[in-house]
Structures are given as C-alpha cells and as structure tokens.
A = this chain, B = another copy of it.
Amino acid sequence: MSAEDSELTGVKEIARRANVSRGTVDRVIHNRTGVSQKTKDLVNAIIKELDYQPNIFARSLASKKQVVFAVLIPDVSQETNYWEAPLLGIQEAGAEISPYGITLKKYLYDVNDKNAFLEQIASIDLDGVQGVLLAPSFIEEAANFVKKLETRKIPYVFINSDIQGHNSLSYFGPDLYKSGYLSAHLIKYLVKRGEEILIVNISQEIDNEHHLLRKEQGFRNYFIENKLENPILKIDIKRTDYAYVSKSIQQVLQEHQVAAIFVTNSRVSTVAKYLKKTGDSSRVLIGFDYTKENLAFLKAGDIDFLICQKPREQGYKGLMALYQFVVHAKTGEKNNFMPIDIITSENCDFYIN
C-alpha cells in the first residue's frame, strides 16, 4: 500500500514515467532553461495527469532560498497615526510566516511627498523580491511601478485603495464607493429635508482617478437614487495643514448654511478642531478612520460618526494572500472589501481594528 502510494506521486514518479532524471523534472517545474521542448511537454503532461502538488516542506528544506516580500506603505506621520494599524497587521502576519523562511523588507514613505514614494520605489531591488504589498497612494506613479512588476512577473497586492484596471493578485481595503454610499445613508437620518450638506476632500493629491472621488461618487449617488433634494456642496482642499484647512472651511461656512459635513478621509479631525474652536457644534460631522486624533474628537462629541474599515486586517490579510500565492500557489478572491464599521462615542472603546 504505502509503497504503491509513494510510487504514484512526487518528482521521482514523474521522472520515472517520463524516463528522465529528477533534475530535469525540477527544471521543468521551475521553468528553467536547458530542457528540450519535447521533454518539457512530456513532463508537463505527466505533471498535469498526476495533479502533482509539490511538497513545500521538502522544497524549502532543499532550496535554502529565502523568500522576500517588499512592503510599500506610508509611514506614520505627525498628522495621523492611521498607518500604524496596517503595519501592525503586516508585522503580525510576518511573524506568523517567518518560520517558513519569509522575510519582509519595509519601504515607508511620507504620504504627502510624492518624491519620497518614488525614492522608495527606486530603492527596491526587485531581483531579490518575490512579492510586493503596497498602498498605491500616488496613482500614476504606483501604476508605473506595478507595470514594471508585471513584466517581471512579481505578484503584488494592493491594500487601502486599489488602482482599477491593473492586474494585482488581490485587493484588501474598502469598497470606496460603498463607504461613501453608507455615509450618505447615515447623514440622511441626521439632516432635515432641503438642508445643505458639505463634502470635504482634503489631500494634496486630488485628480480624476483619485480614490477620494470614488467615495464622493457613492455619497452623491445615494442622494440621487433616493431622490433626496438636499443641496450638496463640495470643496477640494489641496493642503493638509490646519491653517489652510481651517481657512478653507471657514470660507464655505460663511457663505452657506451647512447642516452636515462629510470629510472623505481621516483628516476629519482637522475640521473638527476648527469647528470646536468656533464653539458651534450644531452641525453633523462624519469622517473616516480610528486615529487617535479622531477618537479624541469623537469622544468629545465633536465628530458624530467615524467609519472604519479594519486597517489592521487589511495589512494582515494582504500579506497572507501574498504568502499563500507565492508559497502555496493558492489564489483567493481578487477583491476583498472590508466591512464598514460605524464607530460612535458609545462603542468606540470596544472597537478593534
């Protein structure tokens, strides 16, 4: 029995059937050069017929090659500790898979500095990298980078936001459209008929394909689909410092009677800070992310709702997906949208990323 079983599987059996050596089978399996097309075809046919699954224990034992994954995400900044959470998830997954010979190389960049992003990309030595986990903060630049990865056949996974039309292994992050849509749903409960609503995009990078705009679109479409007639204003603020943001907000609020403000990212704390200063807390304020700044304003009642989308889990699952693919040749779902958690001052103490 067991002798029979063992004959029916493994490189040895493939070699026996193909009448070649195990070395040659190995060459075919790993797509190495130096095998005649004829032998290659034969071996591949047998591999298929046997539904051969390599023994990953034997493989990693024999090949002392280390698998290296590059991680390209924003650094924690003074303005926000948002990226602490994905990094934590990445480190958690990294610790879990380190016994299998996987090493991480981290490339952290300033989310407000496109050049820093490009510099980090340039500093990655792709020769030694079997996979990349990245947050494509700068869309055009990230798109160029992943094109390079594709030609080199290096798999990559997006977290936090994705770039549509690219061939990533998978994506772990919000369904941007839906989070905007849900925000609108929440705000609907809190404004009266006809009251004005303000959408605020705060980012140095706002262009046609930016992901904030996909949230905005979801938000607007909720009102359209539900035939709600509240006027929707919007303002794009292209600097993130408090002075600039507060001035911009002040201006709009002077000119309009705004009942609710929807900030499309974690910068909501900057707006909250301004509103708190004016002492006017009559407006509803909704934004994103469980950062420590936002949390303080949420607890103080200056922010009404925070929408969170499992930043830790994005990092954890993103890296695991890369591992499953590279080491076990397993592919999961391509798009993995995180749940949309609604955090209020009531449940915030119990929230876990």
B352 near A347 with CB under 8 A, answer no
- B185 close to A346 (CB less than 8 A): yes
Chain B residues with CB below 8 A from A347, complex form: 182, 340-342
Expressed in whole angstroms, the Cα–Cα distance for A339 and B310 within the complex equals 12
Q: A56-B99, A57-B60, A58-B61 are in contact. Are A351 and B328 (CB under 8 A)?
A: no
Nearest-neighbor residue (CB-CB) of A182 within chain B: B350
With a cutoff of 8 Å between Cβ atoms, the chain B residues found around residue A56 in the complex are: 57, 99
Which 7 residue pairs are nearest across A and B when measured between Cβ atoms? A339-B352, A340-B350, A57-B57, A57-B61, A342-B347, A57-B60, A58-B61
Q: Chain B CB within 10 Å — which of A189, A338, A350 has the most? A: A350
Q: Does A123 contact B (CB under 8 A)?
A: no
B346 touches A186 (CB 8 A): yes
Tell me if A178 counts as interface (CB < 8 A to partner B). yes
- Pairs across A and B, CB under 8 Å, 23 listed: A55-B61, A56-B57, A56-B99, A57-B57, A57-B58, A57-B60, A57-B61, A58-B61, A61-B61, A96-B324, A99-B328, A178-B350, A182-B347, A182-B350, A185-B346, A186-B346, A189-B346, A338-B352, A339-B350, A339-B352, A340-B347, A342-B346, A342-B347
Please give, as numbers and ranges, the residues of chain B lying within 8 Å of A328 by CB-CB distance.
99
Interface residues contributed by chain A, number (CB under 8 Å): 26
Per the bound structure, the CA–CA distance linking A338 and B350 in Å amounts to 9
CB distance from A254 to the nearest CB of B (A): 32
CB neighbours of A57 from chain B (8 A) = 56-58, 60-61, 100
With A57-B58, A185-B346, A341-B347 already in contact, 10 other A-B pairs whose C-beta atoms are closer than 8 Å = A56-B57, A57-B60, A57-B61, A178-B350, A182-B347, A182-B350, A338-B352, A339-B350, A339-B352, A341-B341
Closest to A320 in B: B96
- A311: min CB distance to chain B, Å: 14
Residues on B with C-beta less than 8 A from A341 are 341, 347, 350
